Amino acid sequence: MSKAPFRIELLQKQDRSAFDCGEPELNAYFHTRVSQDVRRNYATCFIAIDKTGDRIAGFYTLAMGSVSLGELPEDVVKRLPRYPQVPVVHLGRLAVDQKYQGQKLGGSLLADAIARSIESEIAAYAVVVDAKDENAVSFYEHFGFLPLSRSSKTLFLPISKAIKNLGNK
Ligand SMILES: CC(C)(COP(=O)(O)OP(=O)(O)OC[C@H]1O[C@@H](n2cnc3c(N)ncnc32)[C@H](O)[C@@H]1OP(=O)(O)O)[C@@H](O)C(=O)NCCC(=O)NCCS
């Protein structure tokens, strides 16, 4: 059995009510709305379970999406085909319960989401994330994500770069 303190699995019927990441909007989404998104095939939701207490320690959501070619930086656009939309995997929300923050779980959830995007048989150019504030922007930048436009809180990481990053570990 794995010695990692968390296991990551698909959200099913687990009780989500105790989850608290410190951000009311993200908590409300996870407590009440995420199951509808999952049911309607608008998102998949993965959760990290604390193996010692069987408690939900973190979650993230994934969906297919696209961004307009013009939203990407010019030096990137130069190397892409001229289709108006660029296929991406959309990492909609990611959060860690306050009790577990600062223990590398956010980074592990992000790595898990990127790994699933790399392994998918459905092509995507990049993983795109919506950061809700500057703190979240700096979290994603820490892992090599780049802003779509100068003022944007939407960031992207090309899958090719993510694969290279893995190779350098
Ligand atoms: C942002 C959040 C997901 C980080 O999760 P976490 O488990 O506390 O972070 P980790 O312990 O995995 O940190 C991993 C690395 O990211 C760095 N990091 C964490 N938060 C960071 C931030 N805001 N800015 C820059 N770097 C950050 C850590 O220093 C660590 O670096 P290292 O691996 O080089 O030592 C978590 O604090 C959270 O859920 N916050 C509330 C919700 C939120 O803001 N979600 C963001 C998406 S909208």
Q: Which of 60, 100, 125, 140 is catalytic?
A: 140
* Nearest ligand 1 atom to alpha carbon 141: 25
CA atoms within 13 A on the CB side of 126: 24
Check: CB of residue 132 under 8 Å from CB of residue 153.
Answer: yes
* Nearest ligand 1 atom to alpha carbon 96: 39
Q: What is the pLDDT of residues 4-32, one digit of tens each?
A: 799 999 999 999 999 999 999 999 999 99
Check: CB of residue 88 under 8 Å from CB of residue 128.
Answer: yes
Which two structure tokens, joined as six digits, stand for 21? 């990441």
Residue for token pair 């979240």: 136
Q: What is the pLDDT of residues 82-97, one digit of tens each?
A: 999 999 999 999 999 9
Check: CB of residue 45 under 8 Å from CB of residue 34.
Answer: yes
The residue among 160, 49, 139 whose CA lies nearest residue 93 is: 139
In angstroms, the CA 162 to CA 59 distance is: 20
**Maximum Cα–Cα distance for the chain, whole Å?**
51
In angstroms, the CA 62 to CA 1 distance is: 27
Check: CB of residue 5 under 8 Å from CB of residue 51.
Answer: yes
C-alpha 106 – ligand 1 centre gap (Å): 5
Confidence of residue 148 (pLDDT cuts 50, 70, 90): very high
- Could you tell me the pTM of the whole model? 0.94
Domains belonging to the chain, first-starting first, are 6-167 (3.40.630.30)
What is the pLDDT, as a whole number, of residue 149? 79
- Is 42 a residue of the active site? no
- Strands 55-68 and 44-50 turn out to be antiparallel
Check: CB of residue 127 under 8 Å from CB of residue 140.
Answer: no
